[in-house]
Structure 1
Amino acid sequence: MVRLRALWDITKTAAARVHLVSCLAAALFTAGCQLRAEEAQTPAKKLVSAAAPLTPAATPAAPATTAPLPDSLRLTPVPALAAVPDTLHQAIQQLHAALGPAAAALRPEVLEQACVGYLTLHPTGRIERAGLLAVADMDLPNTTERLWVIDLKNAQVLHRSLVAHGEGSGHLRARRFSNQESSACTSLGFYRTAGTYDGIHGYSRRIEGLDKGQNANAFDRYVVLHAADYASPKYVQQYGHLGYSRGCPALPPEQFKDIIATLRVGSMLLVSGPGLASRWLDGGAAGRRFLQRGWR
């Protein structure tokens, strides 16, 4: 009997130990699940900070300096010209359509500015070359071909190219314009092409500003058509934008000779951009001239 009782006590003790071990195992398993669940919900940065001290290689880098945002590519709306008769307005629309894909990026409102200026200026004798105009839309990014030379009579784009603006005028787009000598800015307005010469930029063509207060100092500032390496497609591919002039509408080396030759003495050039105001944007006078002579 004593032996049976002793055996029973031993059995109870063993069972208790087994139960205790089972409870401990269950507790550890539960704690382990909770720990893993917490790790899954904790940001990595927090887990690292709770660990051993960081080695230099694991130290978080200092916040990077925020890079300046590029100029907005949203173009400035071009105000409608007053007093342009429907006949002329429709003729300009037809011209734009006839110019085809080469003029797809030329905004119709900017083409209308150029055409109205041409029709107003030509009868005054300030420009002598009939049926030809050049227009640069400096509101477009300088990574686009934003200069067009147009044959009005044959509705043809003769040249389309990149063109640089002055370093004082902005980055991707020209936003500031000035007629001042030391501004290094592009000047808006209508120009008459003058003679050629060989200068520091090689073969160049001088231009005369026809808008008092906006570009009348261009000739004295030596704002000219010339070639520049920073106005080339290769420069855009390398730097993501064109370089900058001191105010000249600088041209790609591959195209400048042909463009300068086409825009011989007495041709009209419009440099358009936000804030353009000109006495030559006379819709009524342009309409009357168009009815009399068309594009001649």
Structure 2
Amino acid sequence: MKKHLLLLALIVSFSFILISFAKANNASKLVASSKDSATTDIVAVINEVSLSDKLFNDLHLQNAGLSKATVEYAVKGYEKLVDSGLVNNDQFLTIVDLSQPSRNKRLYILDMKNDKLVWNTYVAHGKNSGVDMAKSFSNQFNSNKSSLGFYVTKSTYKGKHGLSLRLGGLERGFNDNAEARGVVVHGASYVNAGRVNSSYMGRSQGCPALPQNEYAQVINIIKGGSVMFIYNPSEDYLQSSALLN
């Protein structure tokens, strides 16, 4: 009887040891898993910041007139759109920085594959968005205002302004009426270096119009599904954009 009791006690003790070991092992796995997950999240954040920082620093974009915040916003939206599969041409990212005066060269084309600033030129804003500074924006028909947000470039056509590039607005409530409004990239005689010393650059009906001697080259670079970001530090846009939040 004593032998049976001793054997039973040994079995119970061994069982408790096994259970304790299993719990400790599972806890270790959970901690390791949490650490791995946290490490992955940290790496993802660093990579995102690093891409915008790399572009900003390597391409000396501050010297070209861009702020670090503008580049960070542009890269954040660009990466989301690429990941979503909406971008057919992920080589180029175009930034139209409407926080700058109209007389500045405020259109930038970044080559995301080769780490280059491939184009920097003048671009018009809508005549009802402001005079030298664009301050008011709209997605409404007949507003003659620029629309903020992310676009994807579409097909080209020959219109009254010559070669033109259709734009598809990707942000509901901000620019999703762009194509129906006829907002396109085109050339315009009222956008040129000769107007830099005037009080403001010529304005459009809402299109990002370009100098006549450059527009065709720009269109041929960015056509076919690349990303365009029209930016202004509007609180309404920055707080509500699904691509930036």
Fold match, TM over 0.5? yes
- When the two chains are superposed, the root-mean-square deviation of aligned CA atoms in Å is 1.7
Q: Distance in 2 between matches of 1:222 and 1:145?
A: 24
- Is the Cα contact below 8 Å between 1:132 and 1:152 reproduced in 2? yes
Out of 204, 220, 242, the residue aligned to residue 279 of structure 1 is 242
Task: Give the 3-state SS of the residue equivalent to 2:165 in structure 1.
Answer: strand
The equivalent of 1:241 in structure 2 is 200
Q: Distance in 2 between matches of 1:158 and 1:120?
A: 22
The equivalent of 1:124 in structure 2 is 84
Which has more radius of gyration?
Answer: 1
Map residues 60-209 of structure 1 onto 2, 5 A cutoff: 85-100=45-60, 104-209=64-169
Where structure 1 has 5 or more consecutive residues not aligned to the other structure, the ranges are 1-82, 283-296
Out of 269, 276, 296, the residue aligned to residue 228 of structure 2 is 269
Q: Distance in 1 between matches of 2:151 and 2:124?
A: 16
Q: Distance in 1 between matches of 2:207 and 2:61?
A: 27
- Is the Cα contact below 8 Å between 2:151 and 2:228 reproduced in 1? yes
The equivalent of 1:259 in structure 2 is 218
The equivalent of 1:227 in structure 2 is 187
Aligned length: 199
Which is strand-richer, 1 or 2? 2
- Is the Cα contact below 8 Å between 1:192 and 1:268 reproduced in 2? yes
Q: Distance in 1 between matches of 2:225 and 2:61?
A: 28
Given the two structures, how large is their TM-score scaled by the length of structure 1? 0.64
Indicate the larger mover: 85-94 or 187-196: 85-94
- Is the Cα contact below 8 Å between 2:132 and 2:199 reproduced in 1? no
Where in structure 1 do 4 or more consecutive aligned residues deviate above 6 Å?
none
Given the two structures, how large is their TM-score scaled by the length of structure 2? 0.77
Q: Distance in 1 between matches of 2:51 and 2:227?
A: 19
Q: Percent identity?
A: 35
Q: Distance in 2 between matches of 1:272 and 1:87?
A: 23
Which amino acid letter does the alignment assign opposite residue 124 of structure 1? Answer: S
Where structure 2 has 5 or more consecutive residues not aligned to the other structure, the ranges are 1-41
Indicate the larger mover: 155-164 or 94-103: 94-103
Q: Distance in 1 between matches of 2:63 and 2:50?
A: 17
Which amino acid letter does the alignment assign opposite residue 142 of structure 2? Answer: S
